[in-house]
Structure 1
Amino acid sequence: MQPANLFTARFDEVATGGQRRVTVGVEVRDREADGSIPTAAWFRGEEYRLDIEDDSGGAIYVRRF
C-alpha cells in the first residue's frame, strides 16, 4: 500500500481589481497520479483556478468575480 499523496488546498474569492480577497475554505485533497497539484479544482459547485503553490506543499486556488 502506498502512502497518501495529499496537499492542502485553500480556496479564495477575489473581487474585481484584486482589492478584496476572502478565504472561503480549506481542504486536504489528493494530488494527480503523477504527484502534481491540479491546476483547477471544484469547491462548493464553483470552479477555482490554481494561483500559487507554496513551499509547504499547499496550493491556493482563486475564483475571480
Structure 2
Amino acid sequence: MDREEPYAAQFDVISAGGRRRFSVGTESRDRDSDGAIPTEAWFQGEEYRLDVEDDDGVSIYVRWLSE
C-alpha cells in the first residue's frame, strides 16, 4: 500500500480571551488513510483542533488556553 503524501502542520496556542496567539511548533505529519488531513492532532501531549489551511498549504491547528 502506498503511503499518503505528508502535510505540514503548525501548532498554535491562543490565550484565554483570544488576545494572544503564538506558534509552539511545526512538523510534517501523515494524512489519514483516506488522504484527508485530520481535524485533530496531538502535539507535545496536548490536543489541538484544525483551524485553517493558510495560503502556503500549511494546516494550522490551535489549542485554546483556559482562564
What TM-score do the two structures reach when normalised by structure 1? 0.87
**RMSD over aligned Cα, in angstroms?**
1.6
- Per-residue deviation, 1:38: 0.3
C-alpha distance in structure 2 between counterparts of 1:40 and 1:57, whole Å: 17
Q: Which amino acid aligns with 2:59?
A: A
Say whether 1:52 aligns with 2:52. yes
What residue ranges of structure 1 are gaps of 5+ in the alignment? none
Q: Percent identity?
A: 57
Q: Which amino acid aligns with 2:62?
A: V
The answer for the alignment partner of 2:22 in structure 1 is 22
More strand by share: 1
What residue ranges of structure 2 are gaps of 5+ in the alignment? none
Aligned residues: 65
C-alpha distance in structure 1 between counterparts of 2:44 and 2:56, whole Å: 25
Q: Deviations over 1:3-51 (max 9, x none)?
A: 6411000000000121100100000000011111100000000000000
- Contact 2:8–2:57, Cα closer than 8 Å, also in 1: yes
C-alpha distance in structure 1 between counterparts of 2:33 and 2:57, whole Å: 16
